[in-house]
Amino acid sequence: MPVPLAMLLDQTTIASLATALRAGGTEAAWTPLATLARHGSGAPLFLFPGAGGNVLAFEPLVRRLAGTRPVYGIQAVGLDGHTPPYTDVPTMAAVMLTAIETAADTHPVLLAGHSFGGSLAFEVARQLRARGTTVGWLGIFDTPAPIFDAEDVTQSWSETDWVRRLAGDIEQMTGARLGVDAALTAHGVIATDGARAFEVLAERLVATGWWPADAPRYALAGYLNVYRANLATRYRAPASALDVPLTLFTAAVQDLHGTTPAAAAVQQQPGWGWPHLVRGVSQQEVPGDHLGMLTEPHVAALAEAVRAALAPAPHAVSI
């Protein structure tokens, strides 16, 4: 049985994580919802991570929001390391609708997504509204509206390029210095040897204390599989005028070299193009860059901005 990635949020030390992994830490069946914060009142918040479907990326934000309302992370199909990931955004969205509606109960649904997760959160909101479910708010973390034909920038990536890219993201999320580039060079790993490159990544994670030495590899393999599938997925939103309050949180530091021309053009539009899809868009800049906005110390400002966006207006019904 697969180890749910969300289980890692409950482990405060490498030792306790290792114990949980060895013990199985399993669920009877896959669920898209990972409970990240149980306490609080009002409508729960559903968080959609970026490429890789790793809810651990939200750990600093969840800690900052703890106690305000229940928070769920959305786990991707394929994180078990055995099931093939989806490569179609509407299909990804469809499999999680019922679970989200059940967890929200009688409350309006509150959704927020980062990067790839922003587009997925929008598609979930669109499908929920189409079946009559109330969506109370949509938060978009540094994601241009999917109103352009995305370029496949990953087409020329080698097997080792994928591992290097994933390692870089993990470094930004955790603050660890993995040294994967140097290790790949030292071991003479060639560009096409994906299996060996993956082992180097796992070895460096173990060496730096971020992965138990005797824990199974399939959760890490699932993360890489979903990461690759997400970055290769193309999604252009259907024309809509979704009547949902949307707050766009943009990072103060933008990587112009890492942005494709098509995406950069949309980012030059008001509200990064979201007014083409959603009525009532507001925009707020927060400290950090695309990944850094989710990490300390910048995440404190993002958490405060999210709390403010969800605070009810005077005399309004609380969500």
Higher-scoring residue by pLDDT: 149, 56: 149
Model confidence at 257: pLDDT above 90:
no
Confidence of residue 39 (pLDDT cuts 50, 70, 90): confident
In which band, very low, low, confident or very high, does the pLDDT at 316 lie, cut at 50, 70 and 90? very low
As a residue count, the chain comes to 319
Give me the DSSP letters along the chain. -PPPGGGGGG--SHHHHHHHHHH----SS--SEEEEE---SSS-EEEE-STT--GGGGHHHHHHHTTTS-EEEEPPTTTTSSSPPP--HHHHHHTTHHHHHHHHTTSPEEEEEETHHHHHHHHHHHHHHHTT--EEEEEEES---S-S----TTTT--HHHHHHHHHHHHHHHH-----HHHHHHHTT--TT-HHHHHHHHHHHHHHTTSS-TTS-SHHHHHHHHHHHHHHH----PPP--B-S-EEEEEESS--STTS-HHHHHHHTSGGGGGGGTBSSEEEEEESS-TTGGGSTTTHHHHHHHHHHHHSPPTTSPP-
Return the structure tokens found at 128. Answer: 């929920």
162 vs 22, residue with greater confidence: 162
Whether residue 103 has pLDDT greater than 90: yes
- Supply 47's token pair: 């968080």
Rounded CA gap, 296 and 109, in Å?
27
Q: Is 90 exceeded by the pLDDT of residue 297?
A: yes
Mean pLDDT of 97-116: 97
* Upper half-sphere CA count for residue 104 (Cβ side, 13 Å): 22
Q: State yes or no: pLDDT of 309 exceeds 60.
A: yes
Would you say residue 1 has pLDDT above 50? Answer: no
Phi, psi of 74 (to 5 degrees): -95, 120
Mean pLDDT of the region 292-309: 97
pLDDT tens readout for residues 60-94: 999 999 889 999 999 899 888 888 999 999 999 99
The predicted structure's pLDDT at residue 53: 84
Higher pLDDT, 219 or 309: 309
pLDDT band at 251 (very low <50, low <70, confident <90, very high): very high
pLDDT digits (tens, 9 = 90+) for 190-241: 999 999 999 999 999 889 877 777 777 877 888 899 999 999 999 999 988 8
Residue 20 pLDDT class (50, 70, 90 cuts): low
Section 42-59 average pLDDT: 91
The sign of the torsion formed by the CA atoms of 259, 262, 268, 274 equals negative
